[in-house]
Amino acid sequence: MSSLSTPHDRYFRATFSRPEVALDFLKNYLPPELRARLDLSTLSLKKESFVDPDLRQHFSDLLYEVETIEDDQGYVYLLFEHKSYPDQLTIFQMLRYCVRIWERALREDDSLTRLPPIIPLLVYHGEDLWNAPRDMIELLAGDEAFHIYGPRFSCSLLDLSPWSEVKIKGEILLRVALQAFRKIRDPRLGQEDLPQMLALLAQLTRKESALEYIQTLLVYLGAASPHLTAEEVQAALRETITEEGDQLMPTLASKWFEEGLEQGRKEGVEQGIEQGQRLGALRTLTGLLAHRFGPPDPMLVARLESLNANQLQELSLFALDAISIDQVESQAQRLRHSN
């Protein structure tokens, strides 16, 4: 199965594809000597895909471009990658991705004689400290006599594992996302960490934005946490949502667990886990569509029933940012044809 189908990667992409979150990350975690040379006000997300199909199993295709302070240096690419386990070949995978980016740059401008710099940024939140190579030389067999002919390529690592000593910094959206990654396997997530994360999101000025972020967070936690329950979600929402935010309670943020995940788990026992997950994911999606665009057309719901659980979860995240129900329907058609 492609890593892009995991809830970790979907949540990472949904969060870090927001330029304001990426900018916040760079201000707080980029090495100072690099940060001082970049004009972060020029940061922009590259929409194009730089990855060929055989690399899609490894990369989430999150690439930013930023100009440098020095006029003669041009621009720099920032490559964001995420791992939930210490894959020993990660640094090689990132090097392959960088080669594709450089190849694309050369195709677009055949007059280039020097390649644009790429800063690889790796966010990790596995159960143990990161122990995989961070430099290509570490992957090469033999000794220094051979290594001098190998590529010098490394990455900047943010280790969010429970055993790391990193202090989570940043504005609300970034802090919540990094805390969610760090605590996703913690049995105390629902009782201790979720109320804190929701309280932070409730501080956002625009209530509509707060609702979107809460929904995105709960979709991720519900899909990825082995411990979170519907009761814990409801209790956390009641504890943290202010009087003005009481309207959030009957929306997807709370109903996702009640009607989707919990029913999916129950039906998973009765009808098989896979079928139960699919039904739960379908309830999640239809509830979200009803909240954003009004009750979905029965014909659309019938077409959605042909999707599997992973596709339905992916479509739910897509629907959070969709402008119209037509966009959601077009994306659903693409997912159906990808089977």
* Residue 10 shares a structural domain with residue 147: yes
- pLDDT digits over 231-273, tens only? 788 788 878 765 544 555 445 444 554 444 554 444 444 444 4
Question: What's the whole-model pTM score?
Answer: 0.70
Domain identity same for 13 and 155: yes
Name the amino acid, one letter, at 73.
Q
Same domain, 136 and 193: no
- Span 189-244, pLDDT tens digits: 999 999 999 989 888 877 667 777 887 888 788 778 888 877 788 788 878 765 54
Predicted confidence band of residue 3 (pLDDT cuts 50, 70, 90)? very low
Q: Do 214 and 176 meet the contact criterion of CB atoms below 8 Å apart?
A: no
Give the count of domains, the chain: 2
150 and 192 assigned to the same domain: no
112 shares its domain with 232: no
Distances (CA, A) of 168 to 30, 95, 123, 210, 249: 13, 27, 12, 20, 28
- What is the C-alpha separation between 277 and 259, in angstroms, rounded? 12
Give the model's pLDDT for residue 61.
62
- Model confidence at 24, in pLDDT bands (50, 70, 90)? very high
The pairs formed by 217-221 with CB atoms below 8 angstroms and a separation of 24 or more are 217/11, 217/176, 217/180, 218/252, 218/253, 218/256, 218/257, 219/7, 219/11, 219/256, 219/284, 219/313, 219/316, 219/317, 220/7, 220/8, 220/10, 220/11, 220/14, 220/180, 221/180, 221/184, 221/189, 221/194
Claim to verify: residue 208 and residue 288 sit in the same structural domain? yes
What average pLDDT does the structure give for the chain?
81
Could you tell me which residue, 117 or 47, shows the higher pLDDT? 117
Q: Domain end: 144, 159, 174, which one?
A: 159
Closest CA to 211 of 192, 194, 198: 198
Q: Which of 15-19, 105-109, 292-296 has the lowest average pLDDT? A: 292-296
Q: Given a cut of 50, is residue 110 above it in pLDDT?
A: yes
Is residue 113 domain-resident?
yes
Same domain? For 112 and 235 the reply is: no
Residue at a domain's end among 106, 124, 159: 159
| 170: in domain | no
Question: Residues 7, 129: one domain?
Answer: yes
Tokens read off for 70: 């020095």
Same domain, 249 and 129: no
Note the Cα 262 to chain centre separation in Å.
24
**Which residue range forms the structural domain that includes residue 22?**
3-159
